[in-house]
Amino acid sequence: MNLEEIQDPQFLKTYETEQLNQLAAEIRSFLIEKLSVRGGHLGPNLGVVELTLAMHKVFDSPKDKFIWDVGHQAYVHKILTGRASQFDTLRQYKGLCGFPKRIESEHDVWETGHSSTSLSAAMGMAIARDLKKTDDKVVAVIGDGALTGGMALEALNHIGHEKKDLIVVLNDNEMSIAPNVGALHNVLGRMRTARKYNKAKDELESLIRKIPAFGGKLAATAERVKDSLKYLLVSGMFFEELGYTYLGPVDGHDVDDLIENLTYAKKTKGPVIIHVLTKKGKGYEPAESDKKDSWHGVGAYKIESGEQIKPQQVGPSYSGVVSKTLETLSHKDDRIAVITPAMTIGSKLTDYGKAFPDRLFDVGIAEQHATTMAAGLATQNMKPVLSIYSTFLQRGYDQVVHDVARQNLNVVFTIDRSGLVGADGETHQGVFDIAFLRHIPNMVLMMGKDENELQHMVYSALKYEDGPIAIRFPRGNGSGVPMDEELENIPIGSWEVLKDGDDVAILTFGTTIPMALEAWEILAKSGVSARVINARFIKPLDSKMLKELYAENMPILTLEEAVLQGGFGSAVLEHAADHQANVIIDRMGIPDCFIEHGSVTKLLEEIGITTPDLVERVKALVKRKAEKGLLT
């Protein structure tokens, strides 16, 4: 059928098995073709084709609520709810979002991009349903990787306690973004190899009741016998002990099996877990055979060969520079230990793990645990490094405040994906970390101008002994600057002048340094003398250099690829106010809104952070200075 003609999933009600299987094949072909052009989350979506078809056949969305954990596996859901015609715009500026989006469709009832939120949201919806006395069903789809998140376990516990009618589909593909870790993962492994036991329990009870004379007495103990059978057939029945009816394991690529179990769950009172076994990348050999999970989220690729088309890159990846520097330093300091919450591959820590297998700890999707574990290591005179994405560090905020900074423990935070990240959109933009870290006592926060300065910052952070210290760095690759062979210690709180000038000062750092240097050249041609300062320490500020600017009555423009409220520019304003400086200050940064998906270049244009914008803002400052001089 023409997938782009689908308006809603109601047509599936009349589909038989053969038609569903044919549709599954067509959806896979559609996804493989469309994602080959610009990329996206291919592996997760190929793995849930039959599951999504079965869910929409058994339930009635949007009356029945589907909550997708993380949401990167919702492409099939989008196709079945009338959005196939928009797939050419997937993850593009003003195009179809790569995650569920409430304004896109009434079928998207929950927006997500971070893991482990689905069960809590589903519980809220189930409670609302019961208070409103409606009869809709609530279905949460969560992966085995997301189930390691503390929030998911808290929700599992509460749902089991309240006994609400709620269906949890555990999509078990043995992978999240990387191979899963943890004891719970091992429990699921034992379940995967066990026989189904629900049918066996029912058949046993029926058999017992048919036995003459003794049937009644035996039937009275049937429940205990069934429980014994449960423990006999399945090792570690974690979910039933929590109060759930457990169904499975179910073949996640057998539509009949899926429909049968979903229908049973729909009729069952109380919370139900359906344990579905799927294959990530199902139906596309390069993705299906992938062991490194490089097909979880991909860029463009050649369909026939599976060759991924990498954009031309000049310098090394920022993540790789951090990892390589950590590896170099770990050979010299056996106190260094690196912790990551399921981002070993994303943060390029694979080689570090090979070199130091006993000093790399992937704790799974557990950012809070990772942060406090680092604090615990620091109390024992170790040098813990928490390697974490900016957007995921948000989830460990209380632990940064309460467990690390309050005790002034020497934890190093290497904050990956700081700044705009592009196609993943508002849930992943790393633009809040300055605002939520800068105000915490004892915290040091810095960002290098390029990959070379970044390696020196890693070295400096590990030399630092006086408390928590964080290094921000962007997604992607450096500009190809020469890399120093000898690592140097950068004095804490020190800035550097990159270009001198007398009319105005541009204070910036990290990804916006090239923009400032480009603006300097344009301004110089128009007779404006700008001083470009690499304000590499966001906290503490270089108070000495700021006071020199105040003394020169130099207008200041701050530039940051981060939110303005509470950001670097705010810090400079606070410093000026504290020192009663009568100086003109302007700020450029991300306004008070969430930034959606699109290329970083396009997003910066939309919010007015470009070289032409910078030039105009600088000229306006110079004009204000001149007007102020005339008035005085």
Query: Which of the residues are catalytic?
Result: 280, 367, 395
- Which residues neighbour 324 within 8 Å (Cβ) at sequence distance 6 or greater? 316, 351, 455
Residue 185's alpha-carbon distances to 147, 179, 363, 364, in angstroms, are 9, 10, 12, 10
Q: Is 342 annotated as a binding residue?
A: no
Q: Quote the longest CA-to-CA distance of the chain.
A: 110
Q: Is 72 annotated as a binding residue?
A: yes
Q: Please state whether the peptide bond connecting residue 540 to the residue before it is cis, i.e. omega within 30 degrees of 0.
A: yes
Question: What is the Cα–Cα distance from 21 to 526, expressed in whole angstroms?
Answer: 66
Q: Is 29 annotated as a binding residue?
A: no
Q: Is 145 annotated as a binding residue?
A: yes
Which residues pair with residue 272 across a beta bridge?
A: 167, 245
**CB neighbours of residue 208 within 10 Å:** 19
Sign of CA dihedral 452, 456, 462, 468: negative
Contact 57, 15 (CB under 8 A): yes
- The number of CA neighbours under 13 Å toward the Cβ of 521 is 6
Bridge-based pairing of strands 444-447 and 537-539 is: antiparallel
Sign of CA dihedral 99, 105, 111, 117: negative
Question: What is the Cα–Cα distance from 259 to 58, expressed in whole angstroms?
Answer: 7
**What is the H or E stretch that residue 623 is in?**
helix 611-631
Q: From its phi and psi, is residue 442 left (phi > 0), alpha (psi between -120 and 50) or beta? A: left
Q: Is 146 annotated as a binding residue?
A: yes
At residue 613, what is the residue type? D
**CB neighbours of residue 316 within 10 Å:** 17
CA quadruple 45, 49, 55, 58: dihedral, nearest 10: 170
Contact 434, 566 (CB under 8 A): yes
Sign of CA dihedral 588, 592, 594, 597: negative
Question: What is the Cα–Cα distance from 258 to 253, expressed in whole angstroms?
Answer: 8
Question: What is the Cα–Cα distance from 507 to 569, expressed in whole angstroms?
Answer: 9
Q: Is 173 annotated as a binding residue?
A: yes
Determine whether 96 is exposed, middle or buried from the number of CB atoms within 10 Å of its CB (0-12, 13-18, 19+): buried
Tokens of 63: 């009356």
Q: Please state whether the peptide bond connecting residue 286 to the residue before it is cis, i.e. omega within 30 degrees of 0.
A: no
Q: Is 114 annotated as a binding residue?
A: yes
Q: Is 485 annotated as a binding residue?
A: no
Contact 553, 503 (CB under 8 A): no
Q: Please state whether the peptide bond connecting residue 62 to the residue before it is cis, i.e. omega within 30 degrees of 0.
A: yes
**What is the H or E stretch that residue 558 is in?**
strand 556-563
The stretches of 102-221 forming alpha helices (DSSP H) are 118-132, 150-162, 183-192, 198-209, 215-220
Sign of CA dihedral 168, 172, 178, 179: positive
Which residues pair with residue 563 across a beta bridge?
A: 590
- Which residues neighbour 552 within 8 Å (Cβ) at sequence distance 6 or greater? 502
Contact 424, 113 (CB under 8 A): yes
Q: Is 524 annotated as a binding residue?
A: no
At residue 139, what is the residue type? V
Q: Is 527 annotated as a binding residue?
A: no
Q: Annotated binding site for thiamine diphosphate: which residue ranges?
A: 72, 113-115, 145-146, 173, 284, 367
Q: Annotated binding site: which residue ranges?
A: 72, 113-115, 144-146, 173, 284, 367
Q: Annotated binding site for Mg(2+): which residue ranges?
A: 144, 173
